[in-house]
Structures are given as structure tokens and as C-alpha cells.
Amino acid sequence: MPFDGQQILPAIRSMKDFDKMLNYSFRYGVFLDLHVGMLKSVFDYARSEEKEMFIHMDLIQGLSNDEHATEYVCQWVKPYGIISTRSNVIKKARQLNVRAIQRTFVIDSNALKRSVQLIHKTDPDYIELLPGVVPKVIERIRLETGKPIIAGGLIETPQEVVAAIEAGASAITTSSLSLWNYFSAKKGT
């Protein structure tokens, strides 16, 4: 099972969020909105805390989200994996043997069709599906692509997490501390 059965992937928007994550038993998470100058030190810190972190390539401030930036990040920063909406970024990460999550937004049936075609083209390790509150779409994309699904966006309650997991999602990305609390024990408790 992906992520050693961890159902919640904390989405980290600041170092304060990461420090909060350190109080939980989560091993895997996602960095969002990092400045290019912080990348190396933030990932070194995460590794020192035994955290396996993905980086959202499209949200790195001060760095283009293309295949050259992907090569730089994968070789210099060495993240556990990357996330992107861009096919060239996913392909480059896969060429460099770095785990890749294709982020896709499904807002209608046409977007669903295009997403499935893109996933077959890029062959990511995982798919992050947004919004993650539509169980039938989670199930359909998982069946049509054969890839593990991570649901994200608009998931606010434990019941929505459970519905996504029951529909076939392997995990949920969320910045919600209440969901972190619900699905993981704090360290020392």
C-alpha cells in the first residue's frame, strides 16, 4: 500500500506548518509554496526528522516549473518526490527515477477525458485528483489508469476522507489540522 498505509498527507504551506507536522506520527507529506532559496535547507531538515516529503514544482517561488527546474530540484534538493500539473515535469522526474504525482483537476466530463489521456501519456507513479470530494470520479480514474489516487481539495470532514478512501483513493492531501488530529496520533500520546 502506498505511504505505508498513511491516509493523510499533510500539505505544508509554511515552516510553521512543518513544525506542526513534526508533532505527529506522519512520515510522508507535501511542501507547497516554498521559495527557491529555502529548498535545500528545508529538505535537509525534513530528512533529519525522517520525513519523506514531496515538493509541488508548480508552486516553487523563484523557479520555473519546467523540465530544467525539475532536473535541478531532483538532482540538488533530492525530494522524496514531486507534484505537478505539467506533463514535461512529470516525464523528467520519471526519467530521473524520482517519484512523480500528476496533479489533475476534474471539473467536467471533458476534463476527465483529457486527464485520463494525459495520465496515460506521462505515466506518473500517483495521481492527485482535485477536487477530492467526488468518489465516483476517484473510482473511475483509478480504474481507467490503474494508478494510485491521492484525493485533495475541498475535503473537510472525516466522513469525506473515508468516502474518498472507500472509492479507491490511497491517501488524502490536506492542510486541515483537524483532519491531521483525527487520522494520526500526536507523538508521545
At the top level of CATH, the class of 7-183 is: alpha beta
**pTM of the predicted model as reported, rounded to 2 decimal places:** 0.96
Q: Where are the domains of the chain?
A: 7-183
Could you count the other beta carbons within 10 Å of the beta carbon of residue 55?
Answer: 27
**Max Cα-Cα span within the chain:** 48
CA separation for the pair 43, 31 (Å, rounded): 9
pLDDT truncated to tens, each residue of the chain (189 aa)? 689 999 999 999 999 999 999 999 999 999 999 999 999 999 999 999 999 999 999 999 999 999 999 999 999 999 999 999 999 999 999 999 999 999 999 999 999 999 999 999 999 999 999 999 999 999 999 999 999 999 999 999 999 999 999 999 999 999 999 999 999 877 766
DSSP state at residue 35: B
